[in-house]
Structure 1
Amino acid sequence: MAKLIFLPRLTGFILLSLFLSFSACKQKADKAEKMEPSNGTAMASQEPFFKLSLAEWSLHQKFQAEGGDPFQFAEIAKANGFEGLEYVSQLYSKQIETLGFDKVIDSLKTMSEKHGMQNVLIMVDGEGELASLDEAERDQAVENHKKWVDAAATLGCHAIRVNTFGTNDPEQWIPAVTDGLQKLATYAATKNIEVLCENHGWLSSDAPVLMKAITAVNMDNVGTLPDFGNWCIKRNQGERWGACEEVYPDKYEGIKMMLPKATAVSAKSYDFDENGNETTLDYPRIIKLVKDAGYTGFIGVEYEGTRLSELEGIKATKDLLLRSAKDLE
């Protein structure tokens, strides 16, 4: 009788153990299946092929006309979903005059660290003509830029963006700008800083001529910063800014020519239609050019329109960039 009682209990215990083991295995399998979409590969596919930075010029109305505090730049960029910062030197003119150059740079570094932002580059304006036909004037411009090279190194940026004004005669401009860039880049190399030329008016917006100059410079730390806009090569009465008289004929080909030497890219925007597309620039076409070139660095959002507010324009540009990249997947 004892055996008759023991065997069913033993059998029941075995069956219960098998059932519990099966249930545990099934729960693990179910859990793994649910977690699969969140693995590293799936997460990576949701990210764009580039990183997002904010060009401070997008906020120039706030910091200039409205008297806002440019030391808030890192905080604003962080709040709007950016990872990197692209500074504009002229937006700190008053602060430099009041506080001193070094204090301003130290403050920018403190703010970027506070908000966990990466400093990408400094867009340098108003420091003289690197392509002046007068060598003494050209050399002075080189000297004026050196403090911004030092500032970029202090902030942890990889580059400064320079202007290349001086003359609009290609035959004279190429040797002049080659000399200016070589002298500045020689100093910048000692600080591990790149010197970048943007299509930013005059002959810098004539892509074939610009690339001839970059080739002539022939230095590893001299490259380009293709801007989606900025293709005016001649303005009214020879002005640097204002009404445009002549535009480079194929901006997409211009961007393509500049990309092989690019270590930064600027996503310029002016206005958007009801579908969120830029009204003057084919963003999907440009983003494909950038991806096909193998570029994976920062793309800086630079809204320059007037219809939308600066923050609205920044968001619209950022959204269009991300959508254009996703459509390429």
Structure 2
Amino acid sequence: MSHLSRRDLLKLIAASTALGSSQSVADSDNRVEAARFSERISLSQWCFHRAIFGNSRDNYSQFIKTLHQSPDDVLLGRLDPRDITKLSRQLGVDRVDLVNILFFGHAEDKPWLDDFKLRAKDNGVSFQLLMCDETGAIGASNAKARQQAIDNHKPWFEAAAYLGCKQIRVNAYGDGTYLQQLHQCAESLAVLASIGNDYGIEVLVENHGNASNNGAWLAMLIELTNHPNLGVFTDLDNFFMGGWGLNPERRYDRVQGLIDLAPYTRGVSVKSHDFDASGRETTLDYPKLLQIFQNAGFNGLYSAEFEGEHMSELSGTTATIRYIESALMANAG
């Protein structure tokens, strides 16, 4: 996608959307029925991170350094981060989940944010959630480091409120034993949840690395913090014990993890990697997994997040949305 011009990318949207509709699990005769389930779906800006970043993440350590020193210099792709509003509208989704590192230099840039808000209004979409990364370790063993992480989140609370977001996602990163991290993260989360209260924004923790990829640990963290403005943004696939990229890979059982987290879930990240010819995700059984949340009484949004490398970001995102719709239809039937 990053090799396309922005004009070509936007021209492809309508055609790709139509193609995705005809090739999805829900065939064209079911589109009217599926449309009513689209109200339960949001679109993650991360679906198009390659089109936005280009090749800037190829050297990841340099990417992180540049992100903090000169954040706009990592935006080497052809897609403006604000164009997610056009893509969302064309894909038939009216709520967008934002990712702070895709516009890392603009948290306090009111003219830029004003333009983003205007584009959203013009396209009839709104912002639901802001995911915060690279803001420090809220579970650090050092108290000053924990306070710095809290302070680093404050501009993003302000930006989220300014853009009209309803939720903000944070990471429960820290050091020490699982028990130490549990208490350190809980201390910081109580503060962040109270800050969120002041802005009318829910604070959600994602299973997004290290201790938080243990479903039981994250469930205990929410219970220990015990704040009414705190919940979980549950990712269907982030259950890599000890972090990503380990060999051999170690995982917390996915189904057990979702059962652990479902009672605390206030948003779901519906990850996808690849799809077969019938439109089913090849690694995740959406109907089975989403039923866990429905059984727990979840009535929030399912955020489409395509991560695959074997399809274009546009085709993969379209397929993800269609499969979520079909799963919700199947579970309702």
Calculate the TM-score normalised by the size of structure 1: 0.80
**Quick check: 1:234–1:244 contact (8 Å CA) kept in 2?**
no
- 1:125-164 matches, within 5 Å, as 125-164=133-172
**Quick check: 1:284–1:324 contact (8 Å CA) kept in 2?**
yes
Whether 2:131 is the aligned partner of 1:120: answer: no
Match of 1:288 in 2: 291
**Quick check: 1:276–1:320 contact (8 Å CA) kept in 2?**
yes
Mark the runs of 5 or more structure 2 residues left unpaired by the alignment: 1-31, 55-76
- Give the Cα separation in 1 of the matches to 2:119 and 2:262: 31
Mark the runs of 5 or more structure 1 residues left unpaired by the alignment: 1-42, 236-240
**Quick check: 2:39–2:93 contact (8 Å CA) kept in 1?**
no
Match of 1:197 in 2: 205
Of the three residues 248, 252, 266, the one matched with 2:251 is: 248
**Quick check: 2:44–2:98 contact (8 Å CA) kept in 1?**
yes
Match of 2:181 in 1: 173
Of the three residues 92, 95, 101, the one matched with 1:84 is: 95
Deviation per residue, 1:214-242 (Å, 9 max, x gap): 1111101110011111111214xxxxx54
- Give the Cα separation in 2 of the matches to 1:81 and 1:61: 21
**Quick check: 1:197–1:225 contact (8 Å CA) kept in 2?**
yes
Structure 1: which amino acid aligns with 2:106?
I
**Quick check: 2:240–2:252 contact (8 Å CA) kept in 1?**
no
**Quick check: 1:158–1:193 contact (8 Å CA) kept in 2?**
yes
Matched residues, number: 279
Question: Offset of 1:105 from its aligned partner?
Answer: 2.5
Secondary structure in structure 2 of the residue aligned to 1:285: helix
**Quick check: 1:50–1:295 contact (8 Å CA) kept in 2?**
no
Whether 2:67 is the aligned partner of 1:64: answer: no
Of the three residues 222, 230, 254, the one matched with 2:230 is: 222
Which has the larger displacement, 314-323 or 287-296? 287-296
**Quick check: 2:189–2:225 contact (8 Å CA) kept in 1?**
yes
Question: Offset of 1:50 from its aligned partner?
Answer: 5.5
- Give the Cα separation in 2 of the matches to 1:244 and 1:152: 37
Structure 2: which amino acid aligns with 1:53?
S
- Give the Cα separation in 1 of the matches to 2:248 and 2:204: 26
- Give the Cα separation in 2 of the matches to 1:261 and 1:131: 20
Question: Offset of 1:90 from its aligned partner?
Answer: 0.2
* 1:46 to 1:90, Cα distance in 2 relative to 1, 3 A: closer
Larger radius of gyration: 1
Secondary structure in structure 1 of the residue aligned to 2:136: coil
* 1:233 to 1:249, Cα distance in 2 relative to 1, 3 A: closer
Match of 1:96 in 2: 106
Question: Offset of 1:246 from its aligned partner?
Answer: 4.5
Secondary structure in structure 1 of the residue aligned to 2:124: coil
- Give the Cα separation in 2 of the matches to 1:293 and 1:44: 24
Whether 2:319 is the aligned partner of 1:309: answer: no
* 1:243 to 1:192, Cα distance in 2 relative to 1, 3 A: same
Question: Offset of 1:68 from its aligned partner?
Answer: 1.8
Match of 1:13 in 2: none
Q: Name the % identity.
A: 31
Match of 1:209 in 2: 217
* 1:46 to 1:193, Cα distance in 2 relative to 1, 3 A: closer
Calculate the TM-score normalised by the size of structure 2: 0.79
**Quick check: 2:130–2:169 contact (8 Å CA) kept in 1?**
yes
Match of 2:13 in 1: none
Whether 2:282 is the aligned partner of 1:279: answer: yes
Match of 2:328 in 1: 325
Question: Offset of 1:101 from its aligned partner?
Answer: 2.9
Question: Offset of 1:139 from its aligned partner?
Answer: 0.5
Question: Offset of 1:244 from its aligned partner?
Answer: 5.6
Structure 1: which amino acid aligns with 2:239?
W
Match of 1:269 in 2: 272
**Quick check: 2:214–2:252 contact (8 Å CA) kept in 1?**
no
**Quick check: 1:168–1:202 contact (8 Å CA) kept in 2?**
no
Of the three residues 177, 188, 192, the one matched with 2:196 is: 188
Which has the larger displacement, 274-283 or 132-141? 274-283
**Quick check: 1:225–1:262 contact (8 Å CA) kept in 2?**
yes
Structure 2: which amino acid aligns with 1:155?
L
* 1:210 to 1:275, Cα distance in 2 relative to 1, 3 A: same
Question: Offset of 1:70 from its aligned partner?
Answer: 0.7
